[in-house]
Amino acid sequence: MKIAINRCYGGFSLSDEAVKYYLNLKGKECHFYYQKAYNDKTFYKTKSSLTCSWNNCFTKDFGEECTLSSDDWKNYHFYCRDIERNDPDLIKTIEHLGEKANGECAELEIREIPDDVLWEIDEYDGVESIHEQHRSW
């Protein structure tokens, strides 16, 4: 079984190009929107006039400027850290794009483990490793 992990400090993330590729494999739209601040409720299709912005991806086009409802956020927001790390389309994305799949502060790698192993990802400051699941108290 192939599993995607991050091998550097920072954390798992995909580049915009990788997000587009992945969502295309899933048959979904990909639209990037920007916020002036994390808690700002207004989203902008272009960030040219923003001095500080956070990038968000949605699987629906909401126009040039919008305020999203909580249902829109829940139904259409895409967050790459929610992807199962053994998702075949994620693996295909990383293998196809190589280093171009790396998001900010990420160095993605595919590891292979036996198919019958129950696994989990352990993380320290963004650096990840795969471990066989076990009990702990």
Angle (CA) 133 105 57, round 5°: 90
* DSSP structure class, residue 117: -
For the chain, domain boundaries: 14-106
Q: Give pLDDT tens digits for 81-125.
A: 999 999 999 999 999 999 999 999 999 999 999 999 999 999 999
51 pLDDT band (50/70/90 cuts)?
low
Contact indicator for 34, 46 with CB cutoff of 8 Å: yes
